[in-house]
Structure 1
Amino acid sequence: MNFKRYPKILIAFALAMSLFVSACAGTTSAPPQGNQSVSSPAKPAVAQKPVSGGSFNKFFPKSQDGYNVVFTQEKTGFAEAKLNEGGQNVAMLSINDVANNPSAATKYKSSSQTIEGFPAVTQGTNTTAILVANRYQVKVQSRSASFGANNREEWIEKFDLNGLSRLK
């Protein structure tokens, strides 16, 4: 007999048995019993898919009073436009569907400020945003020192917020 092969055979047999045993063990799909608990997922499931970015365009303010609204980006759940005055970019306007990022809406829960009845927040020194229908974040970001918080609020009010609140 060739005793040199026994260690190799023994190792191969042990590996095969460990794979077989672990595959047969599986997991149980039975509901928890007694005082066992079910762990919840880290991120809640979202029932709705984000809407297309192009569907937001009709809710943006129109060019007016020397300001020109120029659309710059559309993607699923997001649309953005530049607000130009005299050829200079003074602000960015955007709508963002937070359907796949519900944590983005949490900052509005503790807000004491509202614009047009919607919860509002100020982010840093150059951004004002509101949450419409617990789903759509409307944001105005200053790009010029001459475009302050009052201007941002005025331009948020120029969005068709009621129309946006009915968007599904």
Structure 2
Amino acid sequence: MNTRTPSLLFAVALSLVACKKEPPSRWDEAATKAPAPAVSAASDIKPGSAFNALFPSEGTEGMSRVFTAEKPGYAEAKLRKDGGDVAVLSISDTAGDPQAVAKFANATDHLAGMPVVTVGKNQSALLVKDRYQVKVSSQTLDPEARKAWLKRFDLNGLASL
């Protein structure tokens, strides 16, 4: 027997073991069964900067407006008066998020023909063009005052995006 034979046999055995395919794990199977994200909806999401000009104007009712967040599909600003926060205003693009839109299905209140809902006791939200959610959140403003702030957004401009 050649002295190289054991080395050769070891190399062949090692390559066979290395080539052995493991059965798929439950994680591999779950990944193949998971639904693919809605690429068309996600790629159509508006940048947060597209919403900034649609917020109520600086100085409305003596309030300052401070933008606090901006990311794809979302922009947020705080309303401040006398150094304190009065409300948080936001616009979000609900493209690809049917749950966000679903909460407006049974809305009994409307503003300019668009559904308005109260979320919890401190938020009022409006759905523009079945896509853009405009929200006013406040610990101090009542539902009517929050609705008045919803009216101050440029809703026509938002609908035309």
CA distance in 1, matches of 2:49, 2:38: 27
Structure 1 residue identity aligned to 2:155: L
Report what 2:142 is aligned to. 148
Identity among equivalent positions (%) equals 43
CA contact 2:55–2:154 (8 Å) conserved in 1: yes
Partner of 2:61, secondary structure, is coil
Task: Give the number of aligned pairs.
Answer: 147
Separation in structure 2 between the aligned mates of residue 87 and residue 50 of structure 1, nearest angstrom = 34
Structure 1 segments, 4+ long, off by >4 Å, are 41-46
Amino acid at match of 2:54: F
Q: Secondary structure at the match of 1:51?
A: coil
Could you tell me how far apart the structure 2 residues matched to 1:160 and 1:82 are? 17
Is 1:114 the counterpart of 2:90? The answer is no
Q: Structure 2: give runs of 5+ residues left out of the alignment.
A: 1-16, 24-34
Q: Of 68, 81, 90, which aligns to 1:85? A: 81
Q: 5+ residue gaps in structure 1?
A: 1-14, 23-40
Shift of 1:49: 1.9
SS in 2 for 1:119: strand
CA 1:46–1:107: 2 relative to 1, 3 Å: farther
Whether 2:30 is the aligned partner of 1:50: answer no
> What aligned pairs does 1:1-168 form with structure 2 within 5 A after superposition?
46-47=40-41, 49-62=44-57, 63-143=59-139, 145=140, 147-167=141-161
Normalised to the residue count of structure 2, the TM-score between the two structures is: 0.74
Taking structure 1 as the reference length, what is the TM-score of the superposition? Answer: 0.71
How well do the aligned residues superpose, as a CA RMSD in angstroms? 3.0
The letter for the 2-side match of 1:79 is A
